[in-house]
Amino acid sequence: MGFTEHSYRHKNLVSKIASNVLERLGYSEREVELAAIAGYLHDIGNVISRYNHGQTGAMLAYDILKDLGMDPGEIATVISAIGNHEEQYGESVNNVSAALILADKSDVHRSRVRNPDVSTFDIHDRVNYGAVHSFLKVDTEERKITLELEIDQSITTVMEYFEIFLSRMVMCRRAAEFLDASFGLVINDAKLL
């Protein structure tokens, strides 16, 4: 695809993070499970095209979940989360979608870079490769969700991070607010949000 990694590592991690967000914030066991399902399936639309893959993926997931006999209301929850996880056209429409957005947008890490030639890195490669640690922390008592990043500034700058991730961080803030929580961002131990 020429983009960052969107395979088993990413989908498993997003599934785990999305379910963890809802579990830590005290949502029902079933919503936690639906977040895990949405996280696992959220990028399935990439088999058709990277562009509009959220909406394409929602249609693909609908058929899969229907064939598996899932409740129609739960199908709607999962596919609306999948269809709304991209910043170009998505927004939090339910708890599952908010958790999915937070999980997906927090996965910035060097292991996602597929380009083996450092000399040809574009800004997306540099920023992801420069992210040597990322963790989405959920403070249950404070209802605060914080993305903690460690960026190797010999590879990329914090400014470059914001250049490509600002809209994603705004989306994360809104997703946290949807869950009646606040959103924070810490980069290299400096609190930025």
Q: What is the pLDDT of residue 1?
A: 41
Encode pLDDT of 171-191 as tens digits.
999 999 999 999 999 999 999
Q: Find the mean pLDDT for residues 9-25.
A: 96
| pLDDT tens, position by position, 116-148 | 788 888 888 899 999 999 999 999 999 999 999
- Per-residue pLDDT, averaged over 72-84, amounts to 98
The span from the CA of 102 to the CA of 34, in Å, is: 15
In single-letter form, the type of residue at position 65 comes to L
Query: What CATH code is assigned to 8-191?
Result: 1.10.3210
**Domains of the chain by residue range:** 8-191
- Residue 8, pLDDT score: 83
Contact predicate 98/175, CB 8 Å: yes
Integer Cα distance of 66 and 41 in angstroms: 14
The separation between the first and the last C-alpha atoms of the chain, rounded to the nearest angstrom, is 33
Element (H, E) at 76: helix 72-83
Whole-model pTM: value is: 0.93
Judged against a pLDDT cut of 80, whether residue 7 lies above it is answered with no
**Region 42-63: what's the mean pLDDT?**
89
Averaged confidence pLDDT in the chain: 93
Residue 6 has pLDDT above 70, yes or no: no
Say which residue, 22 or 111, is predicted with more confidence. Answer: 22
pLDDT for the residue numbered 141: 98
pLDDT band, very low/low/confident/very high, at 85 (cuts 50, 70, 90): very high
